[in-house]
Structure 1
Amino acid sequence: MTKLVAYFSATGTTEEKAQQLAKLIGADLYKIEAALPYNRLDLDWMNRDSRATMEMRDWSEKPDIADHEADFSGYDVVYLGFPIWWYTAPTLIHTFLDTYDLSGKQIKIFATSGGSRIDRPLKDLRRLFPDLTIVDGKLLNKDLSEVIAEQA
């Protein structure tokens, strides 16, 4: 099976886990980037008017992604990673899933979070993208030994 680790990381935390995961499972790596990169003020979750807060408040206003030309047709399994924002996946992930045809692929979610669980992002993504095969999800806040054991 050909594997891809596709991830969004605004601060570098998820990127570090994505790089580790790709190396451990022998997968290619793809960084999902916003067309307009996020800065520190955009990510201020305490500010009701910050860009991230406003995007998460209204899911119909999806931020654009930087790359619309990637080809994922050669992959069987896509590990999709992101930081959990407001208890769920950032709306940039919605844009990514709307932009690219990942039907027929196994999608395995991984996320980083300071306190949220993985169940709500999984539920939300399965509800929003019922035609995709989202098989499971894990928080990767610590080491990746559990992932290594599953891949053996």
Structure 2
Amino acid sequence: MKTLVTYFSASGVTKRVAEKVANALDADIFEIAPETPYTAADLDYMDKTSRSTIEMNDKSFRPPIKETIDVSEYDTILIGFPVWWYTAPTIINTFIESIDIAGKTAIAFCTSGGT
């Protein structure tokens, strides 16, 4: 069995967890990176006009990602992300829709704030 740990991390918290998980599982790792990185202002959830707030309020929005990955050689795919507005960031939808996970075991893990 071959395992892939994928993750989106806006502040570095999820990245650190993903690296620990990949190391513990002896798995490959892949960063889900947006075409345009998020700035601190983009991530200000208190600002109703911030990029992340606008994206999360539009359930059909799919932020473009820099690149995707061929997952055909993997049996298990872990997908890590921070919790945004009580759910996964919309960029996770972009990623999942860009790969074929049919017949694979998919496992989500999430982080919240500094935890």
Shorter chain as denominator, the TM-score bin is over 0.9
Tell me what 1:14 maps to.
14
Q: Distance in 1 between matches of 2:67 and 2:113?
A: 28
Normalised by the size of structure 1, how large is the TM-score?
Answer: 0.73
Tell me what 2:87 maps to.
88
Aligned ranges 1:13-52 → 2 under 5 Å: 13-52=13-52
Gaps in structure 2 of 5+ consecutive residues: none
Tell me what 1:135 maps to.
none
1:60 corresponds to 2:24: no
- Other structure's SS at 2:54 match: helix
Q: Percent of aligned positions with the same letter in both sequences? A: 47
| C-alpha displacement of 1:114 | 3.7
Count of matched residue positions in the alignment of Structure 1 and Structure 2: 115
Name the structure with the higher helix share.
1
- Other structure's SS at 1:67 match: coil
| C-alpha displacement of 1:62 | 1.3
| C-alpha displacement of 1:50 | 0.3
Higher Cα radius of gyration: 1
Runs of 4 or more consecutive aligned structure 1 residues displaced over 3 Å after TM superposition: none
Q: Distance in 1 between matches of 2:101 and 2:33?
A: 18
Tell me what 2:3 maps to.
3
